[in-house]
């Protein structure tokens, strides 16, 4: 009989551990922006809530990493949908058992990050005001870059003055040059730190777009995908991003980062500056028979 009871205890314990492991993924660090608690319970009740919050916030970080990926478009919608599904799943697993219910929603206004984009297919790589300039700053003191995507559509002018994208910190510099493969050529050329990107440089005519993901080192030309050394492998932040000879190339670009961008008055069509949740803020509400607890937390996703 003792053996049976011990077996039952082990079985129940195993199920409990499985539920905890299932609902907790150790992938994020969070910081409370706001919080408030109303409870008729004991200190033990508050402590249990705090443990549960830590578990939930780690899950929220993993969800952010999985839904963000490398694609800027639609991240907010994907994350909001993921939060809805997570809330329903959490409440079925935990709420039905313990009477503790969760509501998690994205708070875009409290999130941290900025997106700058230019989607006009014929715009040149100029200052956000539309002016030219031999050199201009896209972003300064950027500490996190979620997306840095450029579509190199065409070049303009002679090929001896390439458009150069410079990412640098206090001690080192990473560069990417966009140009003709040779003077008078109709082929595009992409160089990183002075060396051709094999399979990308010279492979595309002026009528074929080259899409470059600078933050993770991917070059897409038609159906071909090749890699190069991204600045994130070479440099540690904070970064400054400078564009040189931008009016020589026609590009579309999107940058989502935490950093200092030129003031809003610089931005006019076709360049747009909007908020982007590089670090999402999530409103969480917990309801139990003895406590109601509200928090807004910043979810630091770790997708390594």
The whole-angstrom separation of Cα 40 and Cα 89 is 27
**Mean pLDDT (whole number) for 146-152:** 92
What pLDDT was estimated at residue 10?
Answer: 34
User: pLDDT tens digits for 232-291?
Assistant: 999 999 999 999 998 889 999 999 999 999 876 677 788 888 888 889 999 999 887 777
Least confident of 46-55, 119-128, 163-172, 238-247: 46-55
- CA–CA dist 188, 212 (Å, integer): 13
| Average confidence (pLDDT) over 25-38 | 46
Regarding predicted confidence, which is higher, 39 or 128?
Answer: 128
Give the tens place of pLDDT for each residue, 165-207: 999 999 999 999 999 888 778 888 899 999 999 888 877 888 8
Output the pTM of the full model. Answer: 0.75
Whether the predicted pLDDT of 27 surpasses 50: no
pLDDT of amino acid 20:
34
- Considering only residues 98 and 38, tell me which one the structure prediction assigns the higher pLDDT: 98
pLDDT at 3: 45
d(CA 254, CA 114): 10
Segment 76-87, tens digit of pLDDT: 899 999 999 999
Q: Distance between CA atoms of 304 and 233, rounded to whole angstroms?
A: 13
pLDDT of 133? 67
* High-pLDDT (> 90) share of the chain, %: 40
Mean pLDDT value across the chain: 80
| Structure tokens given for 90 | 């959490």
3-state secondary structure the chain: CHHHHHHHHHHHHHHHHHHHHHHCCCCEEEEEEEEEEEECCCHHHHHHHHHHHHHHHHHHHHHHHHHHCCCCCCHHHHHHHHHHHHHHHHHHHHHHHHCCEEEEEECHHHCEEEEEEECCCCCECCCCCCCCCCEEEEEEEEEEEEEEEEEEEEECCCCCCCEEEEEECCCCEEEEEEEECCCCCCEEEEEECCEECCCCCCCEECCCCEEEECCCCEEEECCEEEECCCHHHHCCCCEEEEEECHHHEEEEEEEEEEEECCCHHHCCCCEEEEEEEEECEEEEEEECCCEEEEEEEEEEECCC
CA distance 49 to 29: 17
List Cβ neighbours of 93 (8 Å cut-off, separation of 6 or more): 19, 22, 23
């Amino acid at each position: 009989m003792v053996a049976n009871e011990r077996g039952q205890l082990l079985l129940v314990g195993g199920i409990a551990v499985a539920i905890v492991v299932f609902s907790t993924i150790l992938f994020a660090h969070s910081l409370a922006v706001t919080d408030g608690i109303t409870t008729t319970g004991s200190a033990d009740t508050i402590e249990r809530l705090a443990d549960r919050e830590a578990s939930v916030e780690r899950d929220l970080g993993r969800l952010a990493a999985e839904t963000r990926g490398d694609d800027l478009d639609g991240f907010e919608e994907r994350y909001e949908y993921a939060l809805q599904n997570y809330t329903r799943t959490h409440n079925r697993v935990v709420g039905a058992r313990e009477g503790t219910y969760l509501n998690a929603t994205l708070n875009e206004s409290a999130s941290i990050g900025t997106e700058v984009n230019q989607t006009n297919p014929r715009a040149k790589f100029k200052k956000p005001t539309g002016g030219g300039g031999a050199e201009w700053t896209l972003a300064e003191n950027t500490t996190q870059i979620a997306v840095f995507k450029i579509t190199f559509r065409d070049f303009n002018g002679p090929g001896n003055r390439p458009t150069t994208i410079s990412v640098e910190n206090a001690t080192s510099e990473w560069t990417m040059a966009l140009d003709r493969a040779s003077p008078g050529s109709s082929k595009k050329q992409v160089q990183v730190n002075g060396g051709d990107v094999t399979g990308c440089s010279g492979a595309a005519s002026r009528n074929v777009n080259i899409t470059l993901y600078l933050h993770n080192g991917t070059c897409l030309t038609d159906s071909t995908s090749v890699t190069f050394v991204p600045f994130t492998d070479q440099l540690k932040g904070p970064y400054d991003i400078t564009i040189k000879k931008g009016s020589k190339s026609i590009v579309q670009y999107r940058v989502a980062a935490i950093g200092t961008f030129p003031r809003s008055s610089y931005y006019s069509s076709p360049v747009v500056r909007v908020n982007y949740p590089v670090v999402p803020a999530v409103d969480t509400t917990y309801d139990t028979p003895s406590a109601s607890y509200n928090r807004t937390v910043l979810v630091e996703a770790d997708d390594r």
